Amino acid sequence: MDKVIIADNLSLAYSDDETIINKVKFSIDSGSFVFITGASGSGKSTLLKSLYGALNPQEGSLVVGGVELKGVSNAKLNFLRKHIGIVFQDYKLVKEWTIEKNIMLPLLINGYEKGVTQNQVDSLLKHVRLKHQAGKYPQELSGGEQQRVAMARALSHNPILILADEPTGNLDDYSAELIWNLLVGANEQLKTTVIVVTHHIPETIKVDYKHYHIEFGRINEVN
Amino acid sequence: MKSIKNHLSLVIALVSILFSVQVLLISERSISAYKEKLAHDYSLVVVAQKKLNYSDIMKENSIIATITQLSPDNVIARLHTGMSAKNVALLKLTLPKFYNIKLKYYPSSSEIKILTKKLLRKPFITKVENFSNTHDLTYKLLLLFKKVITIFSVSMLIVTMLLIFKELKIWQFKHNERMNIMGLFGAPLWMRSAILFRLSIVDAIIASFVSFILFTLIASDDWIHEQFDSIGITVKIFDPFSDLMILTALAIVVSIVLSLLIILGHKEEV
């Protein structure tokens, strides 16, 4: 099976004197569903940041979607990010854009035609049950609704990889269930690789997944 | 409403800058029109023993526009107390020659001094009356007027620039957030910056249009023209073509510089 992520002897740090992830080695198969857990401050979000190139490896090698991220150029990083969908705990929606335009963002960056873009956005708005809110601005929506918008945005351009950082951290049950269903759906139907960083794996989730746990700067496979 | 708010802060600042610049342009035009009028009204009187060679003097003093010999008839008429025609003719021959010298532009006090000295160096020129006291006073008033207008406009420019730099921090924060989010989905720098440039160019055009309306209204006000008429000058307050071009170009340059500052100050979120 193809590997979508290969980390070899990978160390991550924000400063030279404090290493967060220390010389880890792991790989993730294409099309798999992965949970990364760990205590607060263990380095799970740091690891996720490194996977979309927001943090350069301090040491070792990290290859995502065939792109080596150590010392990656801006052009290569942009190319990789065009094929990744990211969901953040704090949503990261553009406040001055309507939710429709927020969902459209990856499609516009990838140069999709206007007609295709509109159809895709309409379909996603239906999936996240926000069709009636299309013209609203993010701050006019609840936290759960904003996260559903962020989820729709992450799925809009059919990415090869979805990275989600505590996607249901502060959500109501209804929105949380919807988010999990969308993530599982993308994985099962579109064969999208999904990596979720979370404190707890939901007991009700119905998907075959791999579980990694981060502790003391090391990453260990749990099952 | 939200969109108007986004534009308003930059538009107001730009209009203020354009207003200062146009005021400077008007004051510059008023001063040069007034200088032209003064140059037209101002002349020196030269007394010479011999007839002057105009071309020589004009060649040596490029500031001189015309030299005209003054007729002695008026002076003689006043002195004419029963003199015979023969005596009058003799008197005419012995009287020195009087000349009126007009200049191309209104000179500074030092230029007047240099010209007077140069003329007096000619052996046959005995006196040069340059009316320096009256001239100095008018010239100093002109300079004072120019300085006051310049100080006013420059102060307005400085205050506006300070306000813009304060606003810049807010814009930087707002645009940084959007640029970061776009970057997370792989938008290249030009695409991340395009919105900012588009917004600032639209604002520059709006500000130029507002200034156009403002100065067209001011230029059509009779009261202002009457004020200029009262000092004997005509000044173009706003040229709808050339001035609008200058103001639009300036507004676009300022907006682009501001956008570049925001982009250069942009930091990727880690």
B248 plus B165 within the same structural domain = yes
B11 plus B64 within the same structural domain = no
Whether B136 is covered by a domain: the verdict is no
3-state secondary structure at position A45: helix
Least confident of A90-104, B29-43, B57-71, B81-95: B81-95
> Looking at chain B from residue 177 to 206, which residues have their Cβ under 8 Å from any Cβ of chain A?
177-178, 180-189, 191
Whether B37 is covered by a domain: the verdict is no
Whether B154 is covered by a domain: the verdict is no
CA distance A219 to A26: 8
Half-sphere exposure of B90 toward its Cβ, with a 13 Å CA cutoff?
5
In whole angstroms, what separates CA A157 from the centre of its chain?
13
Which of A95, A106, A137 shows the shortest C-beta gap to B185?
A: A106
B87 plus B119 within the same structural domain = yes
* Residues of A with Cβ-Cβ distance to B182 under 8 angstroms: 94, 105, 109
**């510089």: which residue's tokens?**
B257
Distance from the A158 Cα atom to the nearest Cα atom in chain B, whole angstroms: 12
B254 plus B179 within the same structural domain = yes
Q: What is the pLDDT of residue B245?
A: 95
Nearest residue on chain A to B190, judged by CA atoms? A109
- Does the beta-carbon distance from B2 to A92 stay under 8 Å? no
Whether A202 is covered by a domain: the verdict is no
How buried is residue A130: exposed, middle or buried, by Cβ count under 10 Å (0-12/13-18/19+)?
Answer: buried
Task: Give the pLDDT band (50/70/90) at residue A162.
Answer: very high
Q: Does the pLDDT at position B107 exceed 60?
A: yes
Of B70, B23, B38, B64, nearest to B51 (Cα)? B70
* Residues of A with Cβ-Cβ distance to B177 under 8 angstroms: 94-95
Nearest residue on chain B to A137, judged by CA atoms? B2
Q: What is the pLDDT of residue B266?
A: 74
Over chain A, what is the mean pLDDT? 93
Least confident of A15-19, B68-72, B80-84, B209-213: B80-84
Task: Give the pLDDT band (50/70/90) at residue A196.
Answer: very high
Whether A165 is covered by a domain: the verdict is no
Q: Does the pLDDT at position B169 exceed 90?
A: no
Q: What is the pLDDT of residue A156?
A: 95
- Domain residues for B101? 43-130
Q: What is the pLDDT of residue B57?
A: 87
Domain count, chain A: 1
Whether A11 is covered by a domain: the verdict is no
B169 plus B223 within the same structural domain = yes
Q: Does A196 touch chain B (CB under 8 A)?
A: no
Whether A69 is covered by a domain: the verdict is no
Give the mean model confidence (pLDDT) for residues A38-49. 92
Q: What is the pLDDT of residue B167?
A: 78
Q: Does B170 touch chain A (CB under 8 A)?
A: no
Give the mean model confidence (pLDDT) for residues A169-178. 86
Nearest residue on chain B to A90, judged by CA atoms? B181
Q: Could you read off the pLDDT of B179-192 as tens digits, one per residue?
A: 999 999 999 988 98
* Residues of A with Cβ-Cβ distance to B184 under 8 angstroms: 52, 54, 81, 86, 92
Q: What are phi and psi of B179, to 5 degrees?
A: -65, -40
- Domain residues for A117? 85-158
B192 plus B221 within the same structural domain = yes
CA distance A61 to A9: 7
Q: What is the pLDDT of residue B6?
A: 66
Domain count, chain B: 2
B260 plus B163 within the same structural domain = yes
Q: What is the pLDDT of residue A141?
A: 94
Q: Does the pLDDT at position A201 exceed 60?
A: yes
Q: Does the pLDDT at position B2 exceed 70?
A: no
Strand partners, A218: A215
Whether B96 is covered by a domain: the verdict is yes
Task: Tell me which DSSP letter residue A222 carries.
Answer: -
CA distance A155 to A85: 6
Q: Does A78 touch chain B (CB under 8 A)?
A: yes
- Does the beta-carbon distance from A81 to B269 stay under 8 Å? no
Q: What is the pLDDT of residue B213?
A: 95
B59 plus B15 within the same structural domain = no
Q: Does the pLDDT at position A129 exceed 70?
A: yes
CA distance B144 to B171: 40
* C-alpha distances in Å from residue B172, one per residue of A171, B146, B252, B266: 31, 38, 18, 7
Whether B214 is covered by a domain: the verdict is yes
Q: What is the pLDDT of residue B270?
A: 52
B108 plus B164 within the same structural domain = no
Task: Give the pLDDT band (50/70/90) at residue B3.
Answer: low
Give the mean model confidence (pLDDT) for residues B227-252. 91
Among residues B114, B130, B146, the one where a domain terminates is B130
Task: Give the pLDDT band (50/70/90) at residue B134.
Answer: confident
Which of B181, B188, B270 shows the shortest C-beta gap to A78?
A: B188
Which of A83, A86, A96 shows the shortest C-beta gap to B2?
A: A96
Give the mean model confidence (pLDDT) for residues A100-107. 96
B71 plus B100 within the same structural domain = yes
Q: Which helix (H) or strand (E) holds B73?
A: helix B73-79
For position B124, which CATH number holds?
3.30.70.3040
Question: Among residues of chain B, what percentage have pLDDT more than 90?
Answer: 31
Task: Tell me whether strands A84-87 and A161-165 are parallel, antiparallel or unpaired.
Answer: parallel
Q: What is the pLDDT of residue A1?
A: 64
Q: Give Cβ neighbours of residue A166 (< 8 Å, ≥ 6 apart).
A: A45, A89, A197, A198, A199
Q: What are phi and psi of A220, to 5 degrees?
A: -125, 140
Q: Could you read off the pLDDT of A130-141 as tens digits, one per residue?
A: 999 999 999 999
Task: Give the pLDDT band (50/70/90) at residue A76.
Answer: very high
Give the mean model confidence (pLDDT) for residues B44-62. 88
